[in-house]
């Protein structure tokens, strides 16, 4: 094991990782030595292609696993299959999956509330609960939750509420699962590669975000994935219960 492969011999499950940020996170953990389970809901061919690429690049037996994080039963099936195919344990869990919505509360359908809340918060809680016994038995584990810059806003409706709840969930899990397991979160601002996605909801958001950001640009997927990898490193053994914004200072209010 080299200094940059501190996850050699470890296994990782990244939810919602066939595309976009999740795929970048999966690639980062694989580069650091982990054998990774790439989770997908609908994009099976894309997930298998990513797994083939990671296998060729690292030589590890990465796997693609179908799973629906919108229901408890779906999360249980997903984690169960990950445990089976990763040799009985998940050492690193990244709760990345989490659909977006900013439908105003006054118009928000109950089904949309359930979809966003369950996919972002309930799934993170349940997946963590399911992998924790194995991590405890192994004497080591890392859980990293994805919050978001929306947690610091008050106009992103149920999504902002869910991402705020992730921050509290992270702190409470850290208290319950220590000392063998650390639980942290990252809260990315608007990600550069996903600018077009937010523009469908608010065409002015990206320009306003950049203008408001001290760093003068949006964060990239590789930067977020790099931070998540760092949280799994020995350098972060004493860091738990923390949410780290990675947004170039965008979240800070100005008067």
The CA-to-CA distance between both ends of the chain, in Å, stands at 50
Asked whether residue 6 is domain-assigned, the answer is: no
Query: What's the domain range around 108?
Result: 11-244
Number of domains, the chain: 1
**pLDDT score recorded for residue 53:** 98
Q: Which residues are catalytic?
A: 159
pLDDT in tens, 140-171: 999 999 999 999 999 999 999 999 999 999 99
Specify the CATH number for the domain of residue 116: 3.40.50.720
**Range 230-248 average pLDDT:** 98
Q: What is the pLDDT of residue 3?
A: 56
pLDDT in tens, 45-71: 999 999 999 999 999 999 999 999 999
CA-based nearest residue to 104, from 113, 115, 93, 95: 113
What are the beta bridge partners of residue 37? 13, 63
Considering the domain boundaries, does residue 3 fall inside one? Answer: no
**Does the residue 87 lie in any domain?**
yes
pLDDT at site 1: 43
């Amino acid at each position: 094991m080299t200094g940059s492969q501190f996850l050699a011999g470890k296994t990782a499950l990244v939810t919602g990782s066939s595309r976009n940020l999740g795929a970048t996170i999966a690639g980062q953990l694989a580069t650091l030595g982990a054998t990774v389970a790439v989770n997908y809901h609908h994009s099976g061919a894309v997930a298998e292609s990513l797994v083939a690429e990671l296998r060729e690049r690292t030589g590890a037996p990465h796997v693609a696993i179908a799973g629906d994080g919108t229901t408890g039963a779906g999360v249980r099936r997903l984690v169960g299959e990950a445990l089976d195919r990763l040799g009985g344990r998940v050492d690193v869990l990244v709760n990345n999956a989490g659909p977006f919505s900013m439908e105003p509360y006054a118009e928000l359908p109950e089904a949309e509330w359930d979809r966003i809340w369950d996919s972002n918060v309930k799934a993170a809680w349940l997946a963590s609960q399911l992998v924790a016994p194995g991590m405890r038995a192994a004497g080591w584990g890392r859980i990293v939750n994805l919050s978001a810059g929306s947690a610091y806003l008050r106009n992103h409706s149920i999504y902002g509420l869910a991402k705020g709840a992730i921050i509290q969930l992270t702190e409470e899990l850290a208290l319950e699962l220590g000392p063998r397991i650390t639980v942290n979160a990252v809260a990315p601002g608007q990600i550069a590669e996903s600018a077009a996605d937010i523009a469908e909801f608010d065409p002015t958001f990206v320009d306003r975000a950049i203008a408001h950001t001290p760093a003068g640009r949006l964060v990239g997927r590789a930067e977020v994935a790099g931070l998540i990898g760092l949280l799994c490193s020995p350098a972060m053994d004493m860091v738990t219960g923390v949410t780290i914004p990675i947004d170039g200072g965008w979240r800070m209010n100005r008067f």
